[in-house]
Amino acid sequence: MSNQNPVFIPGPTNIPDRLLNAMHQQTMDHRSPSFVEMLKPVLSDCKRVFGTETGEVIIFPSTGTGGWEATICNTLSPGDKVLIARYGMFSHRWIDLCQRHGLDVQIIECPWGSGAPSDKFEEVLSQDTNHEIKAVLATHNETATGVKSDIKGVRGAMDTAKHPAMLFVDCVSSLGSMPFDMDAWGVDAAISGSQKGFMLTTGLAILAVSQKALAAMETAKLPRTFFDFKDMMAANNSGGFPYTPPLQLIYGLRESLAMLLEEGLDNVFDRHHRMAEGVRQAVAAWGLKLCANSPDLYSDSVSAIYVPEGFDSNQLTAHAFDTYGVSFGIGLGEMNTKAFRIGHLGSLTDVMVLSGLATIEMAMADLNYPITLGTGVAAAQEYFRKTAPKKSV
């Protein structure tokens, strides 16, 4: 019975029945006109979610990690220098991927709980007078720490330094949950996946790529075959794929986009902010602390929460699952044993969030955490009551 409970991990997220039904399709000929009719609107509607009119959407059967790899392999050459800050597990993993591909990675070390350091980026780029740095890499939403970075500010730092580097952004756990404005922010490659804001199973790397990044393909010398932008774009232009596509996931993505656009992207973002703020109200009532260092960094898709001194966050999440059949995010990297995570993105309502808060409260009480049972739920209830959207008659 436990599989009837929603998950509160920051992805993969809960899959609405509407999307499950949309993916429950018999196979089709992916070289037929029917596939062409399905694919083109999907690519076009994705551009609206990324906030781009000039970029190209490229979809690979993969994950966000595959999207990282596709981005660097199509735009960079061995030995190229890239600039990235390490402030969480996923920026750390992107660094590792770049190093394995033979790139010269210049790393700015930052405390976990902080965001992308625009001021430090500007300082480094201003000193790079020969423009050796080819790309700046930033994680929009650091899933390990619940931190949202100011990507517009990063682009502003690059512009102030008058540096021509490309800007690559990991928006895996933010796209479709928080505002993302690729064109206005000057992003050259935005990388996402199907399993978070799009509410689908894992299996698609969904990218938006600027014309500047596409032009960089002409000189990029890192090898690519499966992840070749040119091959994919050429096939997409004729309505197909260069290899067999994941048909059922594309059916699902079509329906996911329909759901997001029917709700209205601004309404989607407002809903995520409201769910997140309800969680934050609960955390404050428990007397616990978020990993994010300041309110301007608070993520609307995941909250990472420190446990009190002397407690093990992994024991807490294990107890919640073993006893109540509900999954919460474990602490990753430097947060291991120190923090747990509540994912509040994708297909969620205030009622579902309250069930998650009640469950983790019970688990904390079972393990003798210094909390009073019911305080977090009551705080979230008060917030949700006061902010409940008015229903049109």
CA 372 to chain centre: 33
Residue 26's contacts (CB-CB under 8 Å, 6 or more residues apart) are none
- DSSP annotation of 306 reads E
Q: Range(s) for CATH 3.90.1150.10 in the chain? A: 2-12+265-385
**What is the CATH T-level fold of the domain 17-262, as seen in this structure?**
Aspartate Aminotransferase; domain 2 (3.40.640)
Q: How far is CA 255 from the centre of its chain?
A: 19
pLDDT for 392 equals: 60
Question: Residue 3: its pLDDT value, please?
Answer: 73
Q: Quote the pLDDT of residue 1.
A: 46
Residue 38's pLDDT is what?
Answer: 87
pLDDT at 51: 98
Judge residue 59's burial from the number of C-beta atoms within 10 Å of its C-beta, 0-12 exposed, 13-18 middle, 19 or more buried.
buried
pTM of this structure: 0.96
CATH 3.40.640.10 residue window(s) in the chain? 17-262
How far from the centroid of its chain's Cα atoms is residue 389's Cα? 26
Between CA 97 and CA 267 the distance in angstroms is: 35
Residue-level pLDDT at 2? 55
- What topology does CATH give the domain 2-12+265-385? Aspartate Aminotransferase, domain 1 (3.90.1150)
pLDDT in tens, the chain (393 residues): 457 899 999 999 999 999 999 999 898 888 888 888 889 999 999 999 999 999 999 999 999 999 999 999 999 999 999 999 999 999 999 999 999 999 999 999 999 999 999 999 999 999 999 999 999 999 999 999 999 999 999 999 999 999 999 999 999 999 999 999 999 999 999 999 999 999 999 999 999 999 999 999 999 999 999 999 999 999 998 888 999 999 999 999 999 999 999 999 999 999 999 999 999 999 999 999 999 999 999 999 999 999 999 999 999 999 999 999 999 999 999 999 999 999 999 999 999 999 999 999 999 999 999 999 999 999 999 999 999 987 765
Task: Give me the count of residues in the chain.
Answer: 393
R_g over Cα of the chain: 21
Q: Which residues, in sequence order, are CB contacts of 374 under 8 Å at separation 6+?
A: 361
Contacts (Cβ under 8 Å, ≥6 apart) of 261: 45, 48
d(CA 182, CA 201): 24
